[in-house]
Amino acid sequence: MELTGRIIAVMEPRSGVSARTGNSWMSQEYVLEVPGTYPKRCVFNIFGEDRIKQFNIQNGEDLTVQFDIDAREYNGRWFNDIRAFNILRGQAQQPVAGAPMDGAPVAAPFPPQPNAAAAPFPPAQEPSGEGSTDDLPF
């Protein structure tokens, strides 16, 4: 998956030593804000000191983040893990005005109607035929 937006926060890197393998590790989190009528924010992380240095993400940067989403269970609770595997610069796709960022189809807007402001509803119709108790226009 991928999202295009602006980095609004760069968190401090976290590091440690794996208890299982004894190897050192490093991870850093970032907050990406996706523009729109209602801007969305997403926290993602990059794992590995080499990748953190390679991507060199700075606060305020516009970029496209390609990531994988996974979930894990800990003590009966589930947590999402959004891990970036690639960062694209200079290829930021500008969203189409009015298009949602999640790729859902958008209904076409209603075409302009003549005198739409003057007559928001169709004119009432006279009942046809005698003895008609139906006063609905359709």
Mean pLDDT of the chain: 79
Tokens at residue 48, please? Answer: 């590995």
Q: What percent of the chain has pLDDT over 70?
A: 65
- The residue with greater pLDDT, 66 or 104, is 66
Question: Which range among 25-29, 84-88, 120-124 shows the weakest confidence by mean pLDDT?
Answer: 120-124
Q: What are phi and psi of 137, to 5 degrees?
A: -80, 0
C-alpha distances (whole Å) from 123 to each of 31, 92, 127 are 53, 50, 13
Q: Does residue 59 contact residue 10 with C-beta atoms inside 8 Å?
A: yes
pLDDT band per the 50, 70, 90 thresholds, residue 90: confident
Q: Is pLDDT at 68 greater than 90 in this prediction?
A: yes
Tokens at residue 50, please? Answer: 């080499």
